[in-house]
């Protein structure tokens, strides 16, 4: 079972971030993969890595014409959902029966028709997928006939305050469908950071204002805020800290410019401002050190309430009043509506009430919050988490499984076998008659148990082997061979991908320089890891130095299997575009053998006869014949570069992190001609990314064999985006695999990515 948190708009809004982080914490009482579907992947990437969950990006329209037509159609026909499926294509492709969706747009039913939520709710209802309205607020006036019908589609509605609960029930929704809970952000952790300069610990008032309460026609809000600040500075000894909660300093948006204006107008050394891009946990830590909080943002108030800080809310919707009523029995004196402000001192008067009752408010929150939070954790246990007693289970999500084999290698009962699915990819198959339900396979899975990325940028180097013979027989700049040769010369062992007698790509080990030559060059097929983890451990435990090379997921699998750091282990991965199906490769090999009337003797995916950039796939056959085609002409390479038959997990790769568990990452240095054109001779340049001290020392031992150039990380990644981003699944992928066993492989690939009319028409229709 997987959980999908749907509708994330991005972490510029730290309240949205707080909902994600705290929801993951609440759901962590049960095992299961967690996905967040976001409209802002770049802003959310760091959070996703930190939490060890999966990210899905909402898609864009194929063309601007699609966007205009669909948008216009929806405006004319108000109930239409035309075009919405474009945005959630990736999300829908991952959803399976038994999964749970949580619509996390807490206040999306407060501001007009929530077309995205309504459209997705129709989809989940139609496909029998449980969709929960997660910790929401709903304005009574928003419950139209259409919205009422939509609310009834949800499996359950978690109302985060009593006013919303009453609004929904009074509209005619069944009581059994609605559960009263608290906002998940009450569970948010704090992360310690340095307090701003001038912050008086325990004697500072936090002040947060947003554009939600400062409208263009505002006459009184700003003057009330300014007068409150002046009262604090002139009549008390307290300091003020201006705290944005929805902001981007770089883009100068939301709370940031407003608070900067207040800072300038007050012009006092007792006024500080948050001037760094803190995440929601870091902001909560600062808020927890306040004496009082005055704020407009709902989740800024929740950060204060949950830290027992007396808080006055400048309210603008049902949610602020509802939460205050739940906490204190009334919103009077705790929430003042921004559009009720008429005099210049009203906000100051409301603040004086909070200040007079400081001790009582702190004591009440301290006593009340544990039971208040229990509402949500109990409801999650009762209504969402299904504890299955049957023995059969899924190790990790089918579409996220990378086939690394760590589960099979580590099973104490040897009851897991890696077997090919109908697309040719290896997957764990469990013999439940032997399984003792120890859970080791799930506990060791590197997809479920991701390492936390610290976002450290690796050291980046452009490198060319000085030996042209080595470089020309390598995929790029000849780094792997130099490193592997060094390990062999020191008495070590090297693991890498090679071919077996039937041209399957398999992992092997070698203890000789001659043997590692087979591992040179890219293999655009997923390799079978076999018993390589086990053999590597045997060598390591015997004190031998081991260099293990593989895809990022295979290195992740090795580290998970070993379970500890070995000083004598070096790991090397590469920037992986994605791994193609072994079944497709085998069919293509047979096609080539039939044409040559001979068995394949060898294959080289990156032959440089026509240059590094225009590399070729070379086949050599037993009858001494040879076939060589450049990447743009070879059918197999065309399909690979079109992402047509990659493993499903490659479209949502769990291992594309800034900082990796490997010591070194290698790649072709595409874009080197833009950075340093004099360094590019079209014979191959390697991009070397070093992640650890161990990787640095290994590189130092071989660097004398290379021409090198230090490069800035951002410059290097511009033309190597696969380091951080997964490719998108083509719309035609499912159709391709349905026909895989029905058509000759050459005709099949050509029909999807070729230059013929049928292939072109198919691609046009798939976009439409």
Q: What is the pLDDT of residues 526-582, one digit of tens each?
A: 999 999 999 999 999 999 999 999 999 999 999 999 999 999 999 999 999 999 999
Please list the residues that pair with 179 across neighbouring strands. Answer: 158
On whether residue 34 sits in a domain, the answer given is yes
Asked if residue 154 and residue 41 are part of one domain, the reply reads yes
Asked if residue 233 and residue 136 are part of one domain, the reply reads no
Distance CA 64, CA 583 (A): 37
Asked if residue 229 and residue 175 are part of one domain, the reply reads no
Of 160, 187, 214, the residue at which a domain comes to its end is 187
Q: Tell me how many helices (H) and strands (E) the chain has.
A: 30, 28
On whether residue 354 sits in a domain, the answer given is yes
* pLDDT tens digits for range 691-720: 999 999 999 999 999 999 999 999 999 999
Of 155, 187, 219, the residue at which a domain comes to its end is 187
Query: Could you tell me if 309 and 287 are in contact, meaning their C-beta atoms sit under 8 angstroms apart?
Result: yes
Q: What is the pLDDT of residue 30?
A: 57
What three-state secondary structure class fits 685?
coil
Domain tally, the chain: 4
Distance CA 133, CA 647 (A): 32
* CATH number of the domain to which 336 belongs: 3.40.50.2000
Q: How confident is the model at residue 389 (pLDDT cuts 50, 70, 90)?
A: very low
Percent pLDDT > 70 in the chain is 95
Q: How far is CA 59 from CA 3, 463, 615, 663, 742, in A?
A: 19, 36, 32, 34, 31
Asked if residue 763 and residue 718 are part of one domain, the reply reads no
Position 211 pLDDT exceeds 70: yes
Query: Could you tell me if 626 and 603 are in contact, meaning their C-beta atoms sit under 8 angstroms apart?
Result: no
Asked if residue 291 and residue 350 are part of one domain, the reply reads yes
Q: How confident is the model at residue 346 (pLDDT cuts 50, 70, 90)?
A: confident
Give pTM, 2 decimals: 0.69
User: 102 Cβ partners below 8 Å, 6+ apart?
Assistant: 3, 4, 5, 6, 23, 131, 132, 134
Instruction: Tell which wins on pLDDT, 175 or 454.
Output: 175
Of 331, 346, 375, the residue at which a domain comes to its end is 375
Q: What is the mean pLDDT of residues 494-500?
A: 97
The 8-class DSSP code of residue 61 comes to: P
Position 761 pLDDT exceeds 80: no
Asked if residue 182 and residue 316 are part of one domain, the reply reads no
On whether residue 393 sits in a domain, the answer given is no
On whether residue 599 sits in a domain, the answer given is no
* CATH number of the domain to which 149 belongs: 3.40.50.11720
Q: How confident is the model at residue 686 (pLDDT cuts 50, 70, 90)?
A: very high
Position 405 pLDDT exceeds 70: yes
Neighbours of 745 (CB within 10 A): 22
Position 434 pLDDT exceeds 80: yes
* pLDDT tens digits for range 175-186: 999 999 999 999
Asked if residue 556 and residue 504 are part of one domain, the reply reads yes
Q: What is the mean pLDDT of residues 497-514?
A: 96
Position 77 pLDDT exceeds 90: no
**Closest by alpha carbon to 91, among 123, 133, 118?**
123
Distance CA 158, CA 182 (A): 9
On whether residue 591 sits in a domain, the answer given is no
Asked if residue 683 and residue 657 are part of one domain, the reply reads yes
Q: What is the pLDDT of residue 760?
A: 64
Position 189 pLDDT exceeds 80: yes
Helix H or strand E encompassing 164:
helix 162-170
Q: How confident is the model at residue 31 (pLDDT cuts 50, 70, 90)?
A: low
Q: What is the pLDDT of residue 443?
A: 87
Pairing of strands 100-103, 130-136: parallel
Query: What mean pLDDT is reported for the chain?
Result: 91
Please list the residues that pair with 24 across neighbouring strands. Answer: none
On whether residue 504 sits in a domain, the answer given is yes
Asked if residue 256 and residue 162 are part of one domain, the reply reads no
Asked if residue 128 and residue 224 are part of one domain, the reply reads no
Alpha helices in 289-345 (DSSP H): 298-305, 318-328
Asked if residue 471 and residue 571 are part of one domain, the reply reads yes
Position 387 pLDDT exceeds 60: no
Q: What is the pLDDT of residue 768?
A: 58
Q: What is the pLDDT of residue 52?
A: 82
On whether residue 594 sits in a domain, the answer given is no
Please list the residues that pair with 346 across neighbouring strands. Answer: none
Q: Which residues of 397-427 are buried (b: 16+ CB within 10 A; e: fewer)?
A: bebbbbbbbbbbbbbeeebbebeebebbbbb
Asked if residue 570 and residue 664 are part of one domain, the reply reads yes
Q: What is the pLDDT of residue 93?
A: 83
On whether residue 439 sits in a domain, the answer given is no
Name the residue range of residue 85's domain: 2-187
């Amino acid at each position: 079972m997987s959980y999908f948190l749907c509708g994330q708009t991005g972490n510029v809004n730290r309240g949205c971030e707080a909902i994600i982080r705290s929801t993951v914490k609440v759901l962590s009482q049960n095992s299961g993969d967690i996905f967040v579907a976001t409209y802002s992947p770049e802003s959310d990437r760091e959070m996703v890595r930190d939490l060890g969950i999966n990210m899905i990006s909402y898609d864009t329209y194929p063309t601007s014409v699609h966007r205009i037509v669909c948008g216009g159609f929806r405006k004319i026909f108000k109930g239409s959902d035309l075009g919405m499926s474009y945005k959630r294509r990736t999300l829908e492709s991952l959803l399976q029966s038994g999964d749970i969706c949580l619509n996390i747009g807490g206040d999306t039913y407060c501001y007009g028709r929530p077309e995205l939520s309504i459209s997705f709710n129709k989809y989940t209802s139609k496909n029998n997928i449980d969709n929960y309205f997660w910790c929401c607020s709903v304005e009574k006036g928003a419950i139209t006939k259409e919205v009422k019908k939509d609310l009834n589609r949800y499996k359950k509605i978690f109302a985060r305050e009593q006013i919303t609960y009453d609004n929904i029930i009074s509209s005619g929704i069944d009581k059994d469908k609605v559960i009263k809970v608290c906002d998940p952000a009450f569970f948010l952790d704090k992360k310690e950071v340095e307090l701003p300069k001038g912050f008086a610990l325990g004697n500072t008032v936090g002040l947060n204002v947003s554009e939600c309460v400062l409208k263009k026609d505002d006459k009184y809000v700003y003057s009330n805020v300014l007068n409150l600040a002046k009262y604090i500075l002139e009549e008390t000894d307290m300091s003020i800290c201006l705290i944005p909660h929805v902001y981007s300093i770089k883009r100068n948006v939301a709370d940031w410019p407003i608070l900067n204006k207040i800072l300038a107008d007050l012009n006092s050394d007792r006024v500080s401002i948050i001037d760094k891009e803190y995440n929601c946990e870091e902001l909560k830590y600062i808020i927890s050190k306040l004496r009082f909080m005055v704020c407009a943002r709902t989740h800024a108030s929740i950060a204060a309430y949950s830290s027992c800080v007396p808080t006055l809310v400048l309210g603008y919707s049902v949610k602020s009043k509802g939460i205050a009523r739940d906490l204190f029995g009334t919103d009077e004196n705790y929430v003042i509506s921004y559009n009720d402000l008429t005099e210049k001192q009203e906000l100051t008067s409301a603040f004086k009430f909070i200040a007079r009752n400081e001790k009582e408010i702190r004591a009440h929150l301290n006593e009340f919050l544990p039971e208040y939070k229990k509402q949500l954790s109990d409801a999650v246990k009762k209504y969402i988490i299904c504890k299955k007693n049957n023995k059969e289970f899924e190790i990790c999500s089918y579409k996220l499984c990378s086939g690394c084999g760590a589960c099979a290698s580590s099973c104490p009962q040897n009851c897991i076998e890696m077997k090919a699915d109908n697309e040719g990819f290896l997957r764990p198959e469990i013999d439940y008659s032997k399984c003792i339900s120890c859970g080791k396979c799930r506990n060791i899975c590197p997809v479920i148990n991701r390492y936390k990325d610290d976002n450290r940028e690796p050291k980046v180097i452009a490198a060319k082997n000085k030996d042209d013979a080595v470089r020309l027989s390598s995929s790029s700049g000849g780094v792997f061979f130099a490193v592997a040769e060094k390990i062999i010369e020191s008495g070590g062992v090297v693991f890498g991908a090679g071919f077996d007698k039937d041209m399957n790509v398999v992992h092997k080990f070698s203890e000789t320089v001659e043997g590692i030559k087979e591992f040179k060059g890219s293999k655009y097929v997923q390799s079978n890891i076999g018993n390589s983890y086990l053999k590597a451990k045997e060598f390591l435990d015997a004190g031998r130095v081991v260099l293990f090379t593989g895809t990022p997921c295979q290195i992740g699998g090795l580290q998970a299997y070993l379970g500890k750091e070995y000083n004598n282990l070096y790991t090397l991965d590469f920037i992986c575009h994605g791994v193609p199906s072994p079944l497709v490769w085998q069919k293509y090999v047979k096609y080539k053998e039939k044409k040559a009337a001979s068995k394949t003797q060898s294959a080289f995916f990156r032959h440089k006869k026509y240059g590094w950039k225009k590399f070729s796939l070379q086949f050599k056959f037993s009858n001494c014949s040879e076939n060589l085609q450049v990447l743009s002409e070879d059918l197999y390479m065309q399909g690979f570069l079109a992402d047509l038959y990659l493993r499903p997990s490659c479209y949502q790769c769990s291992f594309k992190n800034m900082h990796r568990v490997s010591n070194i990452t290698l790649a072709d240095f595409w874009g080197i001609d833009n950075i340093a054109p004099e360094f590019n001779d079209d014979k191959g340049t390697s991009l070397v990314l070093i992640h650890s001290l161990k990787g640095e020392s290994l590189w130092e031992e071989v660097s004398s064999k290379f021409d090198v150039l230090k490069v800035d990380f951002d410059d290097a990644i511009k033309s190597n985006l696969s380091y951080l981003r997964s490719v998108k699944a083509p719309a035609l992928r499912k159709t391709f695999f349905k026909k895989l066993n029905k058509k000759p492989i050459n005709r099949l690939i050509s029909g999807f990515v070729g230059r013929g009319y049928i292939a072109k028409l198919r691609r046009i229709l798939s976009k439409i």
